[in-house]
Structure 1
């Protein structure tokens, strides 16, 4: 991003930027603002956006970290909230057949949880999942059961 584009972006943010050697440091500007900031981002062909490095640094967002996506259709807003904690849950499942595991993993990922480990036996499997909270752990168990999956038990750590 050129220095001119940085200046325009910082003006859009309505904050006073600190200037270091003629260049604007957006991370320092966001920290100095102390309030919410606005960035204009471009969506790529796969629907992805890149969170600017300065924002990731201020919010301590690291690769592989979970973020919560809040969608408000009425005012057409999206809010990303970094999750600093999560709950590890272990699900013990009786399998009807080995192909059922694909549906189970798909459900886990669709519900916004992260697969941490998988132990596959002849008729049972053990699945470790990182979920946002205990409510999500229970919702995932209910969703699996609604799909006909035989959840023997689940525990949290």
Structure 2
């Protein structure tokens, strides 16, 4: 389920079955070189596709929230505080599992300070999301991430 009126209506009716929240974490900056902007936009497109496919694989079990965007220049310790406030609001619903998905490796350094599980996805730095090789990478990451999330369901 996604953050749309149609899906939220379904969620409200079946929330006891939807126990997993997926929150994409996306860095944002405009004060970068053109190549960096292109790389960041490609990572955003790939993250959108990966999280959409993850949610679609387990529709009715996962809820995909809108991306949590933050300035790339921000100190992530400060972002942890804001993110934990957001997580607290999410967990007031009956979500048992909370996963953050991000291409930003810097979150690995502070993951102990956030409420939930961090899934870091290394991304390609250039290419086209419609390219066959990129689609293969995306599908491989979806498979790996959904396998990992399923392992939390059996605990």
Q: Same fold by TM-score, threshold 0.5 exceeded?
A: no
Q: Greater relative contact order: 1 or 2 (C-alpha under 8 angstroms, separation 6 or more)?
A: 2
Smaller-chain TM-score bracket: under 0.3
Greater per-residue strand proportion: 1
- Which structure is higher in helix share? 2
- Per the normalisation by structure 1, the TM-score is 0.28
